[in-house]
Structure 1
Amino acid sequence: MRLAGLGSHAQKEDVMNKASQISRGDKSRNARLGRLRQLVPTTSAIVGIDLADAKQMVVVCDHDSRVLARKTFRVRAWDLGVALDWAAAKAARAGFAGVTVACEPTGHRWRILSQLAEQRDMAFVCVQPLISAWARRGEDLTTDKTDEKDAVVIARLTAQLRCYVPEVVDETWGRLRHLGTRRERLLTELTAHVQQMRDLLECVWPTSLEAANYPFRSRTWMATMQVILERDGADFARTKRLGLARLEKLVRKEVLRWGAEKPTLRITRNLFAALDDEAGVLTHRPGALERVGFVLDDFFHARRRRVDVEERMTAVLEELGVKDLAGSIPGLSSIAVAAILAETGDPRRFTSARALVKHAGLAPRERSSGTFVGRTKVTGQGRPGLRLAAWRGVWATVQHNPVHAARYEHLTHREHNRLKPTQAQAAVAAALLRQLHAVIVTGRPWDAEVATHGMRRRAQQVAA
């Protein structure tokens, strides 16, 4: 094919891609390898570092994995600057123009190493520990694992461009990540408190759980239990002597602490009536109810801390300027957006929306060979926290977002290849991540028409 008449290199490359039938995946992979080659040029040596607490193994290798220098530094991660200076001197002596630093992203130490490399204008990449484990087995078909071997494996994988560029986090995005981690821990703590209270009450006072449809979501139920367990010390006789009218008066005051303006007195009356019920293990009732009182107090304080963290996360969204954009998606609350972005970081760092979906482990995994076509599932790789945050966001959008509701209905009721509810929710979660990526990257609010039919149809409508 003659390419002399084409004006630019981009035009020539486009024609060559069409002629050779390069797929979109091939183009994406070629672009990623090109970006990595800029960080791992053949003119630079590779410094593989196996990070630990007080012992750091450093090797300097060429691109054929030949070790040029090796040394053990018994220092902490923040003192590795001397190791980088030593590696740079060894690389220069071997005739290399610079070095590329590589390590596994273990704990927090890789962040310190990244900062030290940046201060010295050294390129920095990371190697996934899972890939290192597979490569270690392929090294000599044994399960040997030493710091010396690991450092060489890291350098070899980097030379093969089987590495990635870690996220560059600024102060604001970094704060959102830490707040998201804090919120997730509080949610786990709250769930544990609810399970413990449920188990105890089912054992000694099961009727109390029937006082409300969803007792642990009811602030009136919580406030009434707080009065019974804290003021009266779970002495039902004392609560009976108090009387229903005075109990309701105390609950009206207590429910304000739980964030409600007024109580649902029907629930309070049901709990008061349940005081006469003797179902459950009565011998354990005093001690178990005392424990419930302790757990209920812990639940109250953990819930208040969670609300505080969520308010801080919402404020960070406003600081980043993405709250209104992300909030344009019907059914997706600000805190749901904050929880997702706390796991993804800045969505602009992903080259495409599909890359973000793959990062969450929600991309479909194809299994086919020859005439065999296997069952397609999601990969399940990536960040489990991001997958969970997207999954939680789906529950509200399926109910309040007409586009997502229609998609879920179609996937679960179509005649051919009908999906189970959980499979359809995973598909909607992936669509939610793609749309969130689009509104933040483009800076345009969510559009139901584009979300349903895509940009190509919108462009055709505008042209018409």
Structure 2
Amino acid sequence: MKYKMQDKQNQLIERITHEHLVVGVDIAQQFHVARAVNYRGIVVGDPLTFENNEDGFASLLEWINHLISKANFKTAIVGMEPTGHYWLNLSKWLYNHKIDVVTVNPHLVKKNKENRDNTQSKSDIKDALVIADMVKNGYYAFIRPTSESFEQLRVLMSNRDVIVKRLVSSINQINRWIDVVFPEFRQVFKDVKGKGAIATLRLFPTPSDLQSLEPQDVIDGWRTVMPRHAGIHKAHILIELAKHSVGSIQATAAYKLHLEQLLEEFDLATAQLARIEKEVTIALKQITFTDKLLAIKGISEISLAGILGEAGDLSGFAHGNSLLRHAGLHLAEASSGKWKGQIVLSKRGRSRLRRFLYLATISLIVNNPEFKALHTHNVQVKKIKKMKSIMKLIGKLARLLVGMAKRNEAYCPKKLQTFSPIAA
């Protein structure tokens, strides 16, 4: 069955009836603004400004109920921009009080600002009205409430991103420190993240600390922090390089303090990353279908956790293409008459989900025989460019993940063999 986005758009429009009070909320840090319209876009009631706390939320609910009873509506639907993290508490509070909550794309809100009054003016009251208009026209997406396990994965993977950035930053700064103080260091240790390199930086950070030592002294120092060391040959080379180093010999004490703090940051980020990844493994085990998805050769726990953390329960998607739209990986075309514009990815979706789908596909192309064969067939037989082939396989991965999650079935390699082995 082919998936048609237009069918979904029609359903969104048809869902808003004359019985609906359509509410738009402009989200801010401290004060939100709400406006209401009917299904034709006629303004209902006066604007409401309310605080970002329980009393403010209760005043919004009272305002909605008053308009429903006054204008003989039967239900309400509330739309809002997913602005930063300020919208989360309000959306969950309304959802718990049985109010339908939807989101609108902030980019589209900006595009639609002039539809109401044909001016470029901007205000919180006008923005709330624009959001309400977009909802009644069907330009909205439902908030998909996630269970505890998926919410936990989302928080853990978001935290992991922050830790990885800190870890990479500390490694880059250690590399810079080595370039300034002991540039010959990499002739012995290619990877400054290795145990031997880190141990040497802790024990003998500057060339002056090594120049007066014997190789056995270096070996004895290594043995205090690691059972297996680099060997006496590397210790000898390290000392000789230190004696002829061109690194800076000024402000040695300040450089040592700087390196000590960088190594502390490196240790902290490394320990936190290990703890986060352990928690991710535990959270994945609480989701029923993850064991089947992890059975796909090439899918790692981190990639799967990143996808599930951003997408939520994959069984809730109607089709793999819905997951692609959620990630902003659907195609956008600009053409008019005889002029045909370039078809590009819209990138109107979750950037972290795009990243993990891409990384998972790259891993599958390298490690999974079926995906590797499909990529080879695309490139060598169909003469498709490599990046375009990767994008096609991301779509196949999305459909595969959604299908397996919806049916709770195991991975079947034969279903991916869409061509004969001879043609490949």
Q: Label 1:246 to 1:407 Cα distance change in 2 as closer, same or farther (>3 A).
A: farther
2:191 to 204, 207, 214: 214
- Helix, strand or coil for the counterpart of 2:44? strand
2:225 to 232, 254, 264: 254
2:402 matched residue in structure 1: 437
Q: Label 1:269 to 1:310 Cα distance change in 2 as closer, same or farther (>3 A).
A: farther
Cα separation, 2, equivalents of 1:299 and 1:323? 32
Cα separation, 2, equivalents of 1:155 and 1:310? 41
Q: What amino acid is aligned across from residue 351 of structure 1 in structure 2? A: A
Q: Label 1:344 to 1:270 Cα distance change in 2 as closer, same or farther (>3 A).
A: farther
Q: Contact conserved, 2:294 with 2:301, CA < 8 A, in 1?
A: yes
Q: Contact conserved, 2:277 with 2:302, CA < 8 A, in 1?
A: yes
* More off after superposition, 345-354 vs 389-398: 389-398
1:113 matched residue in structure 2: 90
2:172 matched residue in structure 1: 195
* 1:112-153 superposed Cα distances (whole Å, 9 cap, x missing partner): 222332343322222121111111134344331101101111
Q: Label 1:97 to 1:364 Cα distance change in 2 as closer, same or farther (>3 A).
A: closer
Q: Which runs of 5+ in 1 are unaligned?
A: 1-22, 257-261, 458-464
1:111-190 to 2 correspondence within 5 Å?
111-190=88-167
- Helix, strand or coil for the counterpart of 2:417? helix
Establish whether residue 446 from structure 1 lines up as the match of residue 411 from structure 2.
yes
Cα separation, 1, equivalents of 2:124 and 2:255? 51
1:244 matched residue in structure 2: 215
* 1:267-298 superposed Cα distances (whole Å, 9 cap, x missing partner): 66654443223223443665445423321221
Q: How much does 1:63 deviate? A: 1.7
2:81 matched residue in structure 1: 104
2:326 to 359, 370, 377: 359
Q: Label 1:424 to 1:243 Cα distance change in 2 as closer, same or farther (>3 A).
A: farther
Q: What amino acid is aligned across from residue 199 of structure 2 in structure 1? A: A
Q: TM-score under structure 1 normalisation?
A: 0.81
Establish whether residue 346 from structure 1 lines up as the match of residue 346 from structure 2.
no
Cα separation, 1, equivalents of 2:332 and 2:187? 44
1:265-414 to 2 correspondence within 5 Å?
265=231, 271-283=238-250, 287-414=254-381
Q: How much does 1:96 deviate? A: 1.3
- Helix, strand or coil for the counterpart of 1:49? strand
Q: How much does 1:223 deviate? A: 2.3
- Helix, strand or coil for the counterpart of 2:403? helix
Q: Contact conserved, 2:189 with 2:196, CA < 8 A, in 1?
A: no
Q: Contact conserved, 1:326 with 1:334, CA < 8 A, in 2?
A: no
Q: Label 1:317 to 1:242 Cα distance change in 2 as closer, same or farther (>3 A).
A: same
CA-based RMSD of the aligned residues comes to: 2.8
Q: How much does 1:331 deviate? A: 1.9
Cα separation, 1, equivalents of 2:59 and 2:245? 72
Q: Contact conserved, 1:408 with 1:424, CA < 8 A, in 2?
A: yes
* 1:310-361 superposed Cα distances (whole Å, 9 cap, x missing partner): 0100110001133321211112221221122222222122211122123223
Q: Contact conserved, 1:81 with 1:116, CA < 8 A, in 2?
A: no
Q: Label 1:414 to 1:210 Cα distance change in 2 as closer, same or farther (>3 A).
A: farther
- Helix, strand or coil for the counterpart of 1:453? coil
Cα separation, 1, equivalents of 2:404 and 2:230? 41
Q: How much does 1:411 deviate? A: 4.0
Structure 1 or 2: more helix by fraction: 1
Q: TM-score under structure 2 normalisation?
A: 0.88
Cα separation, 2, equivalents of 1:57 and 1:405? 52
Cα separation, 2, equivalents of 1:146 and 1:370? 37
- Helix, strand or coil for the counterpart of 1:382? coil
Structure with more contact order per residue of length (Cα contacts < 8 Å, sep ≥ 6): 2
* 1:217-261 superposed Cα distances (whole Å, 9 cap, x missing partner): x232222222223xxxx3x344444533343343344247xxxxx
Cα separation, 2, equivalents of 1:98 and 1:312? 41
1:84 to 40, 43, 61: 61
Cα separation, 2, equivalents of 1:303 and 1:67? 55
Cα separation, 2, equivalents of 1:239 and 1:320? 53
Q: Contact conserved, 2:37 with 2:43, CA < 8 A, in 1?
A: yes
Q: Contact conserved, 2:23 with 2:37, CA < 8 A, in 1?
A: yes
Cα separation, 2, equivalents of 1:130 and 1:171? 30
Cα separation, 2, equivalents of 1:426 and 1:210? 40
1:10 matched residue in structure 2: none
Q: Label 1:342 to 1:193 Cα distance change in 2 as closer, same or farther (>3 A).
A: same
Q: What amino acid is aligned across from residue 147 of structure 2 in structure 1? A: D
Q: What amino acid is aligned across from residue 214 of structure 2 in structure 1? A: G
Q: What amino acid is aligned across from residue 44 of structure 1 in structure 2? A: H
Q: Contact conserved, 2:289 with 2:405, CA < 8 A, in 1?
A: yes
Q: Contact conserved, 2:17 with 2:39, CA < 8 A, in 1?
A: no
Cα separation, 1, equivalents of 2:388 and 2:214? 52
- Helix, strand or coil for the counterpart of 1:57? strand
The aligned length equals: 418
Q: Contact conserved, 2:9 with 2:138, CA < 8 A, in 1?
A: no
Q: How much does 1:372 deviate? A: 4.5
* More off after superposition, 101-110 vs 142-151: 101-110
2:48 matched residue in structure 1: 72
Cα separation, 2, equivalents of 1:275 and 1:304? 31
Cα separation, 2, equivalents of 1:411 and 1:268? 51
* More off after superposition, 152-161 vs 89-98: 89-98
Percentage of pairs with the same residue: 21
Cα separation, 2, equivalents of 1:271 and 1:439? 54
- Helix, strand or coil for the counterpart of 2:102? strand
Q: Contact conserved, 1:180 with 1:342, CA < 8 A, in 2?
A: yes
Q: What amino acid is aligned across from residue 397 of structure 2 in structure 1? A: L
* 1:141-175 superposed Cα distances (whole Å, 9 cap, x missing partner): 43311011011111111111111101212222111
